[in-house]
Amino acid sequence: MPNLLAVWIVNALALLALPYVVPSIQVAGLGTALLVACVLGLINTLLRPLLILLTLPVTLLTLGLFIFVINAVLFQLAGNLVSGFDVGGFSSALIGSIAYSLISWALSSILLRK
């Protein structure tokens, strides 16, 4: 359980750093970042596997690159669900989802070392 809390906080910190990398994405504050991290976790747990399964033929045809489109759509969905988290257009969601993944990975590898 403490590991889950640490990952949640690291993801929220990654969301707070995201507007510095992608200026078209705005996060209102720490509370919003914590809420968005929770919403993204739920979306990625519940919707992402279903979408990947439904779009498997397209994903195979594009050699897996369609996964980036799925991630961007889900990132934009989180932006539509949470007030105070503005993603902008699809290109911002695509770049933002990639940057968020990289920032979150980097912070996790630095802060959550065993």
By percentage, how much of the chain surpasses pLDDT 70? Answer: 97
**Mean pLDDT, residues 32-38:** 95
- 60 burial level (CB within 10 Å; 0-12, 13-18, 19+): exposed
Q: Can you say whether the dihedral through the CA atoms of 89, 26, 81, 64 is positive or negative?
A: positive
Question: How much is the pLDDT for 3?
Answer: 84
Q: Of 36, 24, 40, which Cα lies nearest the Cα of 84?
A: 36
Q: Hunting for tokens 């640490």 — which residue is that? A: 6
Question: How much is the pLDDT for 20?
Answer: 95
| Mean pLDDT, all residues of the chain | 93
The H or E element spanning position 26 is: strand 26-27
pLDDT digits (tens, 9 = 90+) for 54-91: 999 999 999 999 999 999 999 999 999 999 999 989 99
Question: How much is the pLDDT for 4?
Answer: 86
Residue 9, pLDDT > 90, answer yes
pLDDT band at 111, cuts 50/70/90? Answer: confident
Question: How much is the pLDDT for 30?
Answer: 95
